[in-house]
């Protein structure tokens, strides 16, 4: 007993002084302590309070505030640290718009379907985590359903036999022909999560319709690569071959949620295939096996502020996919443990805690920003989900209540089976191509 308390005390002390580079992916206290540091780093970009929403400073777009609040909802849920709850609630409540569907008049100049989707993801997370309701507002689930209803009404069959365009409003004319994976995948994922939350088959039907369309036009190819989008000016016969981490994550999580809801092996196979295709986002060099990178822009140094957030969403949605479809866990484990450790090392800038962008360089690369903080936060805190799923798949042997006969000498080979050790450790310690890219960068994701 004494020994155990002393060990636990040591763990706590160590956790207090931990910097992200010290992350122990198998230790709950370590993950929680580092997530706390990273959450604080991310929220240092946000000036809102428990009563007042404050837009992110330029050049961060409106959607990113929604994404930040989604990451912070996970933070609260996974760590039980409620420090930011009231601030998160005030931010979401301020942005639901007059119809409580995330169409916000003051954001019309830069609100596209994908932006609305990101805020809806956040409301869905609040519903899934049973996050306390905002006073006087509809339920998180009803807000999510309102957003879904508003979005599906824009299914556009003029060209391409369907699909959602990127933009909503005529002054964003650049994006009125472009049918992108973030918007279509966005509605796919919202539909899938609503199906899981409500059991209502209308959402399954819509998810399948958007999947069929995405697959049909080829923004998801036969190898399950997800591409940025296609253009109704060509009747969606030409694909923009850019491909970003989060686009895979959006479809991956949706397919996994549908696998759980329907029990249909077709969806499980799609989720597995998307996870397989995500391999292009890992292992950029021989010295960086299993480390995540934004392959369309990191190597050539052209990532925009938006793009610097994307890795975090692949992480977030991979973990969420594992949570609903545990059979994905082993393959996600290799990627995410290694990427989380690399992300931790990248967060060794100012004061030893500021995050950089590229995780494959083995340290801090000098590129700072909100997206960098969010990516590391989401990648590291989600280990708590992964470890929970792994532990549940591999439960520790039941504790014995009877006093065992004293053994003459402890056997050093006891309990060293890998299957037995892991859970015990856990328990003890715890968008034309160039043009679209330009538009993407200039207007927003
Ligand atoms: C937050 O407010 C302070 C004081 O008004 C200002 O100096 C700072 O730039 C603001 N930060 C953000 C992230 O808006
Ligand atoms: C947070 O609270 C839940 C419910 O009490 C518990 O299951 C979970 O282990 C806690 N998480 C942490 C990191 O303490
Ligand atoms: C949202 O917050 C802004 C800035 O604080 C404020 O001007 C606006 O009135 C708020 N809107 C709603 C609907 O709360
Ligand atoms: C549907 O897409 C076409 C381009 O294919 C566009 O001209 C039209 O405005 C869109 N319709 C609606 C209702 O957005
Ligand atoms: C556009 O493609 C769809 C199939 O995706 C086809 O049904 C339709 O006839 C095509 N329209 C034009 C104008 O080529
Ligand atoms: C299922 O969802 C659809 C779309 O939101 C809604 O129109 C319908 O009333 C729902 N059905 C039930 C039984 O709740
Ligand atoms: C999707 O495609 C499958 C296979 O072609 C078909 O069976 C199914 O009816 C389609 N679903 C929807 C909702 O269009
Ligand atoms: C895991 O990855 C292996 C190797 O790429 C693949 O064969 C297998 O199907 C994957 N399993 C799951 C459940 O995704
Ligand atoms: C791995 O190799 C790449 C490409 O040469 C380089 O940029 C990166 O800094 C290297 N990473 C480490 C940890 O040495
Ligand atoms: C985490 O635990 C697993 C299972 O015990 C082990 O295989 C892995 O090497 C550990 N990882 C680290 C970085 O300690």
Report how far ligand 4's centroid is from the alpha carbon of 433 (Å). 20
Residue owning the nearest CA to atom 14 of ligand 8:
272
Residues with CB under 6 A from ligand 3: 52-53, 94
Ligand 4 near 394 CB (within 6 A): no
**3-state class percentages of the chain: helix first, strand second, coil last, to nearest 5:** 60, 5, 35
Only one residue has tokens 């989604």, namely 70
In which element (H, E) is residue 192 found? helix 181-198
Ligand 6, atom nearest to 201 Cα: 1
Q: d(Cα 346, Cα 49) in Å, to the nearest integer? A: 29
Q: d(Cα 338, Cα 198) in Å, to the nearest integer? A: 35
Report how far ligand 8's centroid is from the alpha carbon of 327 (Å). 10
Residue owning the nearest CA to atom 4 of ligand 4:
177
Give ∠ CA 343-348-352 in degrees, rounded to 5: 140
Nearest to 150 by CA among 119, 173, 193, 196: 119
pTM value?
A: 0.90
Looking at the CA of 53, which ligand is closest? 3
Which residue among 138, 200, 205 has the greatest number of ligand 6 atoms within 8 angstroms of its CB, and so is best to mutate? 200
At residue 431, the pLDDT reads 27
At residue 408, the pLDDT reads 44
What does the pLDDT profile of the chain (445 residues) look like in tens digits? 333 333 343 344 355 568 999 999 999 999 999 999 999 999 999 999 999 999 999 999 999 999 999 999 999 999 999 999 999 999 999 999 999 999 999 998 889 999 999 999 999 999 999 999 999 999 999 999 999 999 999 999 999 999 999 999 888 878 899 999 999 999 999 999 999 999 999 999 999 999 999 999 999 999 999 999 999 999 999 999 999 999 999 999 999 999 999 999 999 999 999 999 999 999 999 999 999 999 999 999 999 999 999 999 999 999 999 999 999 999 999 999 999 999 999 999 999 999 999 999 999 999 999 999 999 999 999 999 999 999 999 887 877 665 555 444 433 333 333 332 222 222 222 223 333 333 333 333 3
Report how far ligand 5's centroid is from the alpha carbon of 235 (Å). 6
At residue 403, the pLDDT reads 53
Looking at the CA of 285, which ligand is closest? 9
In which element (H, E) is residue 178 found? strand 178-180
At residue 173, the pLDDT reads 78
Ligand 8 near 258 CB (within 6 A): no
Q: d(Cα 78, Cα 420) in Å, to the nearest integer? A: 24
Q: Crossing angle, helix 383-393 and helix 310-324, to 10 degrees?
A: 20
Only one residue has tokens 């909100």, namely 370
Q: d(Cα 179, Cα 214) in Å, to the nearest integer? A: 10
CA dihedral 197, 200, 204, 207 (to 10 degrees): -70
Residues 205-214, buried b or exposed e (16+ Cβ, 10 A)?
Answer: ebbbbbbebb
Q: d(Cα 246, Cα 111) in Å, to the nearest integer? A: 19
Nearest to 143 by CA among 177, 190, 108, 195: 190
Residue 26 tokens read as: 């198998």
User: Helix or strand or coil: residue 220?
Assistant: strand
Q: Which residues make Cβ contacts (< 8 Å) with residue 391, sequence separation at least 6?
A: 422, 423, 426, 427
110 neighbors 440 (Cβ within 8 angstroms): no
358 neighbors 322 (Cβ within 8 angstroms): no
432 neighbors 440 (Cβ within 8 angstroms): no
């Amino acid at each position: 007993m004494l020994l155990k308390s002393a060990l636990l005390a040591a763990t706590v002390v160590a956790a207090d002084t931990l910097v992200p580079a010290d992350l122990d992916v198998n230790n709950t206290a370590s993950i929680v302590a580092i997530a706390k540091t990273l959450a604080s780093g991310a929220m240092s970009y946000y000036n809102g309070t428990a009563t007042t929403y404050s837009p992110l400073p330029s050049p961060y777009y409106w959607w990113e505030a929604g994404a930040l609040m989604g990451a912070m909802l996970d933070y609260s849920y996974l760590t039980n640290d409620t420090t930011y709850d009231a601030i998160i609630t005030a931010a979401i409540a301020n942005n639901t718009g007059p119809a409580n569907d995330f169409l916000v008049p003051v954001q019309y100049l830069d609100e596209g379907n994908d932006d609305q989707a990101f805020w809806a993801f956040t409301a869905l997370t609040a519903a899934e985590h049973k996050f306390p309701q905002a006073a006087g507002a509809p339920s998180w689930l009803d807000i999510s359903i309102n957003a879904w209803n508003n979005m599906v009404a824009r299914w556009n069959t003029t060209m391409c036999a369907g699909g959602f365009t990127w933009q909503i409003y005529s002054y964003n004319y650049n994006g009125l022909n472009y049918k992108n994976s973030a918007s279509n995948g966005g509605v796919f994922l919202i539909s899938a999560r609503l199906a899981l939350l409500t059991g209502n088959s209308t959402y399954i039907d819509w998810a399948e319709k958007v999947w069929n369309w995405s697959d049909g036009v080829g923004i998801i190819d036969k190898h399950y690569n997800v591409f940025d989008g296609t253009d109704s000016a060509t009747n969606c016969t030409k694909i923009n071959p850019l491909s970003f981490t989060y686009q895979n994550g959006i479809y991956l999580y949706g397919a996994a949620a549908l696998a759980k809801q329907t029990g249909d092996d077709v969806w499980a196979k799609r989720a597995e295939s998307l996870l397989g295709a995500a391999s292009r986002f890992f292992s950029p060099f021989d010295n960086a096996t299993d480390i995540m990178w934004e392959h369309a822009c990191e190597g050539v140094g052209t990532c925009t502020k938006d793009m610097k957030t994307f890795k975090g969403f692949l992480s977030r949605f991979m973990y969420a996919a594992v949570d609903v479809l545990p059979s994905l866990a082993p393959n996600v484990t290799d990627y995410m443990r290694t990427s989380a450790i690399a992300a931790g090392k990248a967060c060794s800038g100012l004061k030893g805690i500021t995050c950089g962008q590229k995780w494959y360089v083995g340290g801090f690369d000098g590129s700072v920003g909100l997206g960098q903080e969010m990516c590391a936060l989401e990648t590291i805190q989600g280990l708590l989900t992964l470890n929970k799923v792994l532990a549940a798949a591999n439960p520790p042997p039941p504790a014995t209540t009877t006093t065992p006969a004293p053994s003459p000498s402890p056997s050093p080979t006891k309990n060293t089976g890998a299957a037995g050790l892991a859970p015990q450790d856990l328990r003890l310690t715890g968008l034309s191509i160039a043009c679209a890219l330009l538009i993407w960068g200039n207007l927003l994701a």
